[in-house]
Amino acid sequence: MSNLFILSSLTTPGIGLIFWTTVVFLLLIVLLGKYAWKPILGAIKTREEGIEKALASAQSALNDMRELKSNNEKILADARAERDTLLKEARESKDAILAEAKTKATKETERILAAAREQIISEKNAAIADLKNQVATLSIDIAEKILKSELSNADKQKTLVSTLMKDVNLN
């Protein structure tokens, strides 16, 4: 039995031990509550507020980034639209310039061709007139030579004069 008593006394605490353990425990709770828990809870609360501020700041930064991205996309779309407009205007301007150049070239070609035709006609008329003058001169020279040879003799002259007189009287 003494073994059982020793065992039961070891496993069952005494009232004094329970009292002092309770007093020490309560004193520990009061001391911890007064000196440790308030600063620990304050530090935890400060840390929690810092984390919340950091999360809010991160959310704000994320919203700002989304807004910037949206603005960048809008600016990029506007720039692309402006580039397309400028390219379209440049193409239209190029086409207009080419059309105007073609029109001017066509008109200039027509003017040059008309001037060339007029020059050809005038040179042709001058050549025809010159040719007529040369033919007339040659005809007169030939007629003169023929008449000299024909009229060298007095009988032939009389015959020619009488023939011409008959023609004049008949007409």
Kindly state the greatest CA–CA separation across the chain.
208
Q: Is the pLDDT of residue 26 over 70?
A: yes
Please give the pLDDT value at position 99: 93
Whole-number pLDDT of residue 2: 54
Say whether pLDDT at 144 is over 90: no
Is 62's pLDDT higher than 80?
Answer: yes
Give percent above pLDDT 90 in the chain: 54
